[in-house]
Amino acid sequence: MNFLVTGGAGFIGSYLSEALLAAGHSVVGLDDLSTGSEKNLVNLKGKSGYSFVNGTMMDEDLVRDLVSGVDGVFHLGAALGVKRILERPYESLVTNMHGTEIVVKAAAARKVRTFLASTSEIYGKNPNQPLNEESDRVIGSPLLVRWAYSEAKAIDESLIQMFHQMNGLPFVTGRFFNTVGPRQTGAYGMVLPSFVSAALAGKPITVYGDGSQQRVFGHVLDAVDAVMKLFFNDKAIGHAFNIGGEGEVSIKQLADGDCGDWIVIEDRDDSL
């Protein structure tokens, strides 16, 4: 089968593309390299069955053309990371909402099975743990730009559900919980690569708040395995699933390891 992977040069997208190729499929990767990197494609370029398009999911004609030639879509393209959202709030909001609309509409026109990448951020700060797929959203004030990513991804989920109900678009949504591993960059606020980079450079590790925030980290290869199992399972169609790991760790515990010092600099929680 032939698949389109938006965000194909990204952290998860590049691993997913490799897994699809290894399973005998063909892959077209679409990425504008704004947060993705050509370095992530070293194991893909030149491989039989793989092609890469340097373009944006905001280009409706391009997306429609690419979707017309595939059997399925993995929509991972997004503006992500708290740092990026705070620095470019409007651009990020439009990319995450309108970009997904373009991809979903193109997929719905041909009823092409689609995987939508969502996020644990949609749950916001719901105190009722552990979270399940039916848990309520508890988010902060809309006056805080920090919640724009959560809002946009929730709308993305509603959008694809609408096309499923109206047009029969087969889809499955995966909500990623703190996926980590090689190739992940800390440039956009991701906590683990940020901590590792600081430790390797011999610099203090920055912790926001008191560090008591709990996180569960999942390896990228496990996340990709879950994505593929869900995508090819007919029983998963029309549903959303949490994709994460096991075992909670506080941000303070993470920083207090043998990797260096930690410091509280602000009473806020921006660590994803």
pLDDT tens, residue by residue, 208-234: 778 888 888 899 999 999 999 999 999
Convert the pLDDT of each residue in 103-136 to its tens digit: 999 999 999 999 999 999 999 999 988 899 999 9
Selected residue with higher pLDDT from 186 and 108: 108
Per the structure block, which two tokens stand in for 85?
């959202």
Q: What tokens were used for 18? A: 């490799």
* Backbone angle region of 31, left / alpha / beta, with phi > 0 → left and psi within -120 to 50 → alpha: beta
pLDDT grade, residue 188 (50/70/90)? Answer: low
Tell me, yes or no, whether 8 lies in a domain: yes
AA identity, residue 9: A
| CA gap 69, 72 in Å, rounded | 9
CB distance 205 to 198 below 8 Å = yes
Residue 97 has pLDDT above 60, yes or no: yes
DSSP 34: S
Element (H, E) at 264: strand 262-264
Is residue 272's pLDDT more than 70?
no
Q: Is residue 59 part of a domain?
A: yes
Taking 90 as the threshold, does the pLDDT of residue 16 lie above it? yes
CA-nearest of 25, 19, 68, 73 to 49 is 25
3-class SS letters over 105-131: HHHHHHCCEEEEEEEHHHHECCCCCCC
Contact 219/15 with Cβ under 8 angstroms?
A: no
The H or E element that residue 177 is part of is: none
What is the percentage of the chain residues whose pLDDT exceeds 70? 93
Mean pLDDT lowest for which of 131-145, 151-165, 239-253? 239-253
Contacts of 24 (CB under 8 A, 6+ apart): none
Burial 30-68 (b: 16+ CB within 10 A, else e): bbbebbbbeebbeebeeeeebebbebbbbbeebbbebbe
* R_g of the chain, CA atoms, integer Å: 18
Mean pLDDT of 172-177: 97
Residue 60 CA to residue 102 CA, distance in Å, equals 6
Asked if the structure places residue 206 within a domain, the reply is: no
Catalytic annotation present for 149: yes
Tokens in use for 235? 């029983």
Supply the pLDDT for residue 200. Answer: 78
Residue 5: helix, strand or coil by DSSP?
A: strand
Count of structural domains within the chain: 1
Q: What is the pLDDT of residue 189?
A: 62
Do the domain assignments include residue 251?
A: no
Q: In 3-state terms, what secondary structure has residue 104?
A: helix
* Assigned domain for 138 exists: yes
From the candidates 50, 149, 188, 208, which is the catalytic residue?
149
CATH of the domain at 156: 3.40.50.720
Give 238's DSSP letter: T
What type of residue is 165?
Q
Structural domain containing residue 149: 2-180+216-246
SS3 for 158?
helix
pLDDT mean over 37-43 = 96
Residue 257: pLDDT band by 50, 70, 90 thresholds?
low
- pLDDT band per the 50, 70, 90 thresholds, residue 250: confident
Q: Tell me whether residue 265 is in a domain.
A: no
Question: What does the pLDDT average to over 132-148?
Answer: 92
- Could you tell me which residues are beta bridge partners of residue 205? 262
Q: What is the pLDDT of residue 198?
A: 78
- Per DSSP, 267 falls in state S
Rounded to whole angstroms, the Cα distance separating 192 from 186 reads 7
Tokens 């303070």 map to which residue? 252
User: Is 17 within a domain?
Assistant: yes
Q: What is the mean pLDDT of the chain?
A: 89
Kindly state whether residue 166 falls inside one of the protein's structural domains: yes
CA 101, distance to chain mean position in Å, is 16
